[in-house]
Structure 1
């Protein structure tokens, strides 16, 4: 999942540094993520992972790092069905 999020950030985040050089906890806003880019990242994440961000998760904290984004996506995905 982290690799897919890095790809989305590379394509949509307009960051000032390559995503491969970022740690999972690094603050994305400190490396150039803007509010406009956040919207683009959100839309791309929703499409890539087939999830929808509810209003209560449209916060700076949700998009602050690769780790926080992955955590939000994991929380939005329905639990896997077991046979």
Structure 2
């Protein structure tokens, strides 16, 4: 199971979000908090490494990485598709 704290820990390793990672609410826009396109690629790679997954193309959207909730739902969906 993917938790919000798992996501916050990974966000803490992102240069732009590290100072505020623990204060970000579930539905706060990460892009409004400083995440840029380079940071979103770093985030994607960190998530793939942490959860042992590879995001299919249909999940590589701005929306998939826009909030903690969206990331949690996206990672959970990918994990479910791998388990099926």
Q: Where do residues 1-12 of structure 1 align in structure 2 (5 Å cutoff)? A: 1-12=3-14
Pick which of 67-76 and 3-12 moved more. Answer: 3-12
RMSD between aligned residues: 1.9
What is the CA–CA distance in structure 2 between the aligned matches of 1:63 and 1:78, rounded to whole Å? 18
Aligned length: 81
Match among 67, 70, 73 for residue 68 of structure 1: 70
Task: State which structure, 1 or 2, has the greater radius of gyration over its C-alpha atoms.
Answer: 1
Give the ranges of 4+ consecutive aligned residues of structure 1 lying more than 2 Å apart after TM superposition. 78-81
List gaps (5 residues or longer) in structure 2: none
Q: What TM-score, normalized to structure 2?
A: 0.86
Q: What TM-score, normalized to structure 1?
A: 0.87
